[in-house]
């Protein structure tokens, strides 16, 4: 059976990241996606992420932001997760800043990717759960983050 843990890659989870802005956070996490071969090009990917940012807030409250979008530069569906050292400014639904950033990488053509999209939807649901989010934000390392999301 498919489970959320199958889409949470320990190599794309970064805790204690030292970023001061939304821009820095998105670039940092896009870099992580590039290193781990989820995307082919940081600039093109970030541009597509910002296209979605322009449509509406991706700060969902509870210190969480979920920048996402469809990009040709994505070769493998996945997520990068960053927990910041300090709260950073972001446009959010509750007016607070953000400490946990989940950057979704999804392609434009998703033929044959149904299974991964399904996993991504299960993953997104987790972010709608206050307890999961709280635990995730308190994580000291990538293992803790994965555990918070996969339990």
Residue 120 contacts other proteins per CB under 8 A? yes
d(CA 76, CA 69) in angstroms, rounded, equals 14
Residue from 4, 26, 66, 149 binding other proteins (CB under 8 A): 66
d(CA 89, CA 87) in angstroms, rounded, equals 7
Read off the tokens for 135. 């635990």
8 A C-beta contact, residue 89 and residue 63: no
Residue from 93, 138, 140, 151 binding other proteins (CB under 8 A): 93
**Measured from the CB of residue 68, what is the shortest distance to other proteins in angstroms?**
5
8 A C-beta contact, residue 79 and residue 104: yes
Q: Which CB sits closer to other proteins, 86 or 134?
A: 134
Task: Collapse the DSSP code of 118 into the 3-class scheme (helix H, G, I; strand E, B; otherwise coil) and give the result.
Answer: helix
**Measured from the CB of residue 82, what is the shortest distance to other proteins in angstroms?**
16
Residue 94 contacts other proteins per CB under 8 A? yes
Q: Are strands 13-17 and 78-88 parallel, antiparallel or unpaired?
A: parallel
State the binding string over 36-55 for other proteins (x if CB under 8 A, else -).
Answer: ----------------x--x
Residues in the chain, overall count: 151
Q: How far apart are the first and last CA of the chain?
A: 15
**Measured from the CB of residue 129, what is the shortest distance to other proteins in angstroms?**
6
Binding segment for other proteins (CB under 8 A), chosen from 16-24, 38-46, 123-131, 140-148, is 123-131
Residue 78: beta bridge partners? Answer: 105
Q: Which CB sits closer to other proteins, 19 or 120?
A: 120
Interface ranges with other proteins (CB under 8 A): 52, 55-57, 60-61, 66, 68-70, 93-94, 104, 106, 110, 114, 117-118, 120-122, 124-129
């Amino acid at each position: 059976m498919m489970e959320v843990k199958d889409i949470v890659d320990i190599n794309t989870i970064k805790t204690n990241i030292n970023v001061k802005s939304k821009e820095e956070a998105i670039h940092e996490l896009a870099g992580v996606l590039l290193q781990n071969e989820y995307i082919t090009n940081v600039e093109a990917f970030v541009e597509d992420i910002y296209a979605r940012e322009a449509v509406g807030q991706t700060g969902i409250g509870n210190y969480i932001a979920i920048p996402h979008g469809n990009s040709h530069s994505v070769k493998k569906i996945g997520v990068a997760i960053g927990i910041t050292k300090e709260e950073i400014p972001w446009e959010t639904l509750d007016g607070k800043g953000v400490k946990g950033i989940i950057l979704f990488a999804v392609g434009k053509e998703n033929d044959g990717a149904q299974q991964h999209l399904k996993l991504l939807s299960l993953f997104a649901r987790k972010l709608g759960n206050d307890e999961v989010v709280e635990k995730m934000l308190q994580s000291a390392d990538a293992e803790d983050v994965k555990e918070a999301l996969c339990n």
